[in-house]
Every structure is written in C-alpha cells, then in structure tokens.
Structure 1
C-alpha cells in the first residue's frame, strides 16, 4: 500500500521548528511494515528549489517551497493552500491513501475534492480555541480564528477521522455530521518505556514542558511555583522555547517575589532521552493548559512514571482519572501549587499515582497495538472508498 502523509514534519534546515514526536514515532514503525511505502509531504520557505525530494530512514520526503510566514498570514493562507492543493491534484493518483495529520494547518482545504481514500488524524481543533485565548493574546486569537474558518468550512468533506479522546470524538461528529470516527492512540517514543536510573536527588524540582507558551499555562506555572516556594525549596525546570532572560522579565512583570533566577532553569528543546532522564529526577509534571486534546507531554510523563498535575480541560480527562492516574487542577495557581505540594508531602500518593499511570499508559500506548490498528483503519478507509465509488 502506497501511503502519502500530509504532516507537519519540519525540514532538516528548520532546526528550531516544533518537533512532531507522535508523528515521527508512528512513521518509524510503519516504514518497517512489509508491503507499505510511506511518503511525507510538507512545505517550507527554507528550500531554494520549488520542490525538494529525498529519502531518509526508509521514508520518502517531499517539501514544497512555501511563502514566508509573513506572506502566508497576509495572504490568509490562500497562496500556501493553493500551492499544496495544486501539487496534490497532479500527484494523488500515485498513492492508495492520503493521511492528513491535523487540521490546524489547512490540510483539509488542500486535499478537498481529491478522488482518493482519505483519513484525518485529529490533533488539536483550532476552531475551538479562540474562546479560551486570554485578552493579552489578541494576535494569537486572530490567527486561530482564521485557521478555525478553514476547519469549519472543509472538515465536513472529510469522512474518516482518527480520534483519541472523548472531546475530539464528540467535536468531530458535530463538525462533520455522518463521519466515521476511528479510535487510536498516538505512539510514544521508546525512550520513555525504558527504565531510567535517577541521579542522586540533590534538589526538589517540578517540570514544565511548554516553554513560554501562554496557552500551555506558562504564567500560571510561574505563579504556582512562586506560591509553592513559600512552603518548600523547589526548582522549576522549563523545557521548550524559553530563555532565562525572558522568563526573568515575565517573573518581574507578574510581581512574583519568591521565584528568583536561581529557582528557575531553562533547558531548551530536549531529546526524548534527555526528557526521560529529567522525568526520573523530578517531583511531577505541571500541565495547566487553557485547552488541550491529548497532550503528548502528559502521555510521555505517564509512560515514564512521572506523576502529572494537569488542568481538567478538553480531552485531558481521557488521559487522567483524577486521584488514580494523576491529579487534576484548575488554572488557579493555588490549585496547581496545592496538588504539587500534596505529591511532595505524601510520597505514598506520589508512588501510587506514578505506578497506576504507568500501567495504564503503557497499555494505552502499546506500539504493536497502535500499528495494527493503524493498518486496519487504512484498510477500512480504502474499502469504504471503493464501496462508494
């Protein structure tokens, strides 16, 4: 079977681009399947030719030269959508199935009307995000409102979706009435399944993987750790795009008096192995996002055995059973701090949550089951297309 993915896979020249571990991990497993060839199509302004193709690790990659981010926004994404749409119209016949990974980047608009079996894996649903955006992030709200327009207009034409949580399943049935919803979880990178020997605990630390993203709860985490430090000596480790200087400015702007520079460590983008080691040395993961579907960082932490404190939003409740496989909180810093403090003061609770979450998450993210389910879904989508043709 010849599979074409339309997926947010950064070009090798885009060193600072957001990684897509759940997409890459699945690709590495599928490429090993007999009788299956995988091609990934994406776009970037970083290449010099109109089209760049190469093969790496048994996967064929095709990149189209896209307009700059500024031009893309000024043209309301129409130029980029037309570029990819034109390529697909001239090449779709070389593939047995088109798999769209996410709808946030207008993939359904690019693939609209193609006479080919098509499947969309839901990641986030950007059309649902604007109501949750704080007033300070007006530009982000405008961008998501634009992307939400594309979702609402083109998702109804997609007949098959892969969903993960109660939240995205319910929304897809609203946005695309009569569609078929297939359930499957994301693949977690192998490093989180391996046992890690933690280094000697020299300090108490909590982890936040959202960089400085407001929607991931960056400001709430700072305020929560400021409260926490009034009771215990704890360090905040931030992974993702964050600089120590900008974090210091944010702390000062918020008037936080107990969170000095020595209490915050910015690690930048970490590999899976580095994250797994960090998890083994930490008290918990803090994930107080404003809205989320199936946050990969929560899943990775659970598989690795790190307790999670997360906000009860979107699809998070499909990942965390409160007091059983994690602790739910609100966006109030006091709520976040209180749950983290409980884990510190009650080692038995922390161990119980870690053990139970790991057991559930390792079964949920069993790679063999996910691959088998993916292949079965592909067959179902192709069979349904043939029956309708």
Structure 2
C-alpha cells in the first residue's frame, strides 16, 4: 500500500504595522467621523492587500477614540486590530503605560517576524521599543528639534522626552528628509538611518493652477511660533505688500493676537477642508512657509507637486523641494524683511509666478509619488526579513 504524503508549506512571515490609520477611508461606519487622509498609510494598506504577491501575514495595529473596546477586523486578506485610545495627556504622563501593555499583549499573541512603527508622537514607538525581534521605525515628527527651535507647551515637551527614550532603541529608521536624518542621528547616533519620502495624496497631482488676477499668497499650518507665522504677518503688514493678499489657513495659540494686529490684506480662514485648501493653493501665486524648523511639511510637498512656487526658510526638510531663485526662494529664519523681498520678487507679475512653479515640478512629482513610499517599505521588509541582524 502506498504512502499518502501531504505537501507542507512554510508559514508566512508575520508583519505587524503600528500606525495611526485613516479608518474613515477603510471602514464605512467611520467615514463620517474620521476624515484623515494619510496617503502613504492608505496606499501601503492597499498594496499589501495584494499580499499573494508578497507572501506576508499582515497585522495592522491602531489606537482610536472611535471604539470603546478592542476590535479585530479582517479586510482584504489583512487583519486590523483597533485598540481604544484613552486620554492622550494621561498616556504621556504615564509614559504610555496602558496602551503599551495592550500593544505588547497583542504582539505576544501574533508573534510578528517584523514590527514596523510609524511615528513617535503616539504610543507605538514606546510600546515596541523593547521588542526583541526585527523592527523598523518610520520617523515622522522631529519633536526634540522643534522644542529646541521654539517654545512648546508641557505635553509637547513630554512627547519630545519620550521620543528621545524610544528612538534610540530602533536599529533601522526611515526619515522623509535629509534634515530629519540629521535630527535623528543627534538622538540615535548608533541607528541605521535612511531616507524614504512619504508621498502626497493623489488628488494634488491632478489640480490645475488658476492664479488669481491680483497677487495672492497662501499659508497653511498650525498658528504657533514654530511656523514663523508672526514674521509672516509682520512682512505683510508692511506698506510695500499692501497690494498682495495673504490667506492664512489653520488654527493655533497665536491666532487671536496676530489677527488683532493684521492689516486688511491679511485674511484668516481658520481650519479648512481639503477641498477649500486645494482651491486656495490653486489660486495662489505662491505658498509662503517661514518655518523655524520642519521635518517635511505636507503643505510644501502638496504645493510643489501641483506646480506652486514656495518661499520658505533654510531650516527644515522642505528645502529639498525648492531651488532658490528657480522654483521659489529660500530665506533665513525669523526675517520678515527677507519674506517681504521674496514675495515682491515672486509676485512681480503672474507669468513669473507660473513659470517659477513649473521649475522642478516633474522631479517633485516623481519623488513624492506615494507608490515610491510603498516600494520603499516593501523593499525594507524583504531586506530585513531575509537578513540575520
């Protein structure tokens, strides 16, 4: 009698990805409550849905205030674990103890071959810092650097303290700008830090520029000192820029004080929808981003892929998208006169603004394609899973 044999298949490598996930884009019941985009996370999720091409068992882990108890969903061949998120302030003051315990328990149950953590602002990096297996951190904030460049509230400083505790435990770290690479090396000198762009949401690639008939500039971001917003307002209060309109989108601690001293050419929009943001970017002659330090601000990346010239400072990762005098101007920090001079040059006439925006646009579009981010992740997964470190 012949022997019956069964073919055995090797187990798939388990990858746990911990990130703030745009649940509204993945699950219908959250669509009205979660409007976040996070294009690189969304694109990676859908790329891994074709996991038969990669052979991985994918587990996503996310914290959310939209659930009251842990939930587990199976979507497109992947497992999504949603953990209730409590008070962020309490989590910071307890060094993320509660969510860390929940995350570690979950990791013990799924036993990942590789852990990929996105960001240092929430609990994920602290929760996984002592994970003994292979782990990858994709750095998003630069919290310690921000505290060094502008005053921050206590909880932000606490986040920066925890950033320094966590980051040094990761041997493999990705950053989205050379500036961020340098900042990480300051706090984690022994880590292997590499550059990986986090791409731009697809809709920005399809926007047409329709600059307004009269000169206008746009700023989008948090209204606080780190963004250099007070120097921007000071520049536009000068009589030389009275004919140029400035539209400011965002909210923050400096809004009331700066609004009170604004001139009629400065318009405060508050928090705006993505559609309104895109309309203002389309009609603006340029984006002005006078930051005191930034990792790689989305607003600059979005402006550049749609062909908008940018005036920004020399401090931050956004400088890699702007060539001084060609696709915008790079100026010193804390210099309202330099802002004013750059705006006058760029708004001299409509054609200048259009032509400068076209310079380097294709390079930025190639660099900031979200599929490039996905491939960067997949390449690192393959390399790390096949390595002995």
User: Please, what TM-score do these two structures have when normalized by structure 2?
Assistant: 0.82
3-state secondary structure, aligned to 1:63: strand
- In structure 2, the residue matched to 1:259 is 264
Distance 1:221 1:318, change over 3 A: same
Q: Work out whether residues 129 and 144 of structure 1, in 8 Å CA contact, stay in contact via their aligned partners in 2.
A: no
Match of 2:136 among 113, 119, 131: 119
In the aligned structure 2, how far is the partner of 1:249 from the partner of 1:173? Answer: 37
CA distance in 1, matches of 2:292, 2:129: 31
* Root mean square deviation, CA, Å: 3.1
**Larger Cα-atom Rg:** 2
Farther-moved stretch of structure 1 (292-301 vs 64-73): 64-73
Deviation at 1:315, TM superposition (A): 2.3
153 and 367 in structure 1: CA distance in 2 versus 1, 3 angstrom threshold: closer
Distance 1:312 1:5 in 2: 34
Residue 344 in structure 1 maps to residue 362 in structure 2: no
**Count of residue pairs brought into register by the alignment:** 368
1:180: Cα distance to partner? Answer: 2.3
Instruction: State the 1:298 CA deviation.
Output: 0.7
Matches of 1:75 and 1:339, distance apart in 2: 46
2:320 aligned to which of 307, 318, 321: 318
Please show how residues 1-389 of structure 1 align to structure 2 within 5 Å.
2-9=14-21, 12=24, 15=33, 20-32=38-50, 34-35=53-54, 38-49=58-69, 51-54=70-73, 60-91=79-110, 93=111, 95-134=112-151, 137=152, 140=153, 142-196=154-208, 198=210, 201-227=212-238, 230-241=240-251, 247=255, 249-252=257-260, 255-256=261-262, 258-259=263-264, 263-266=266-269, 268-271=271-274, 274-329=276-331, 330-384=333-387, 387-388=388-389
SS of the aligned residue for 1:264 comes to: strand
2:168 aligns to what SS in structure 1? helix
Cα pair 1:119 1:158 within 8 Å, conserved: yes
Residue aligned with 2:304, SS:
helix
Secondary structure in 2 matching 1:279: helix
Unpaired runs of at least 5, structure 1: none
CA distance in 2, matches of 1:67, 1:367: 31
CA–CA distance in structure 1, aligned partners of residues 234 and 360 of structure 2:
27
Counterpart-to-counterpart distance in 2, 1:213 and 1:25: 31
Question: C-alpha separation between the residues in 2 aligned to 1:237 and 1:40?
Answer: 39
Q: Deviations over 1:130-173 (max 9, x none)?
A: 12123xx4xx2x32332222222232221111123222223333
Question: 1:127, 1:144 within 8 Å by CA — same for their partners in 2?
Answer: no
Counterparts of 2:291 and 2:102 in 1: how far apart (Å)? 34
Cα distance in 2 for partners of 1:58, 1:340 equals 51
The answer on whether the counterparts of 2:43 and 2:370 sit within 8 Å (CA) in structure 1 is no
SS in structure 2 of the partner of residue 157 of structure 1: coil
CA contact (8 A) 2:303 2:310 kept: yes
Shift of 1:75: 3.1
Whole-Å Cα distance in 2 between the matches of residues 279 and 58 of structure 1? 38
Q: 1:297 & 1:26 partners in 2: Cα distance? A: 21
Q: Deviations over 1:192-248 (max 9, x none)?
A: 2115263x8354322111142432233333323323x653433332334479xx845
1:161 is paired with a residue whose SS is strand
> What is the alpha-carbon distance in structure 2 between the residues aligned to residue 7 and residue 179 of structure 1?
21
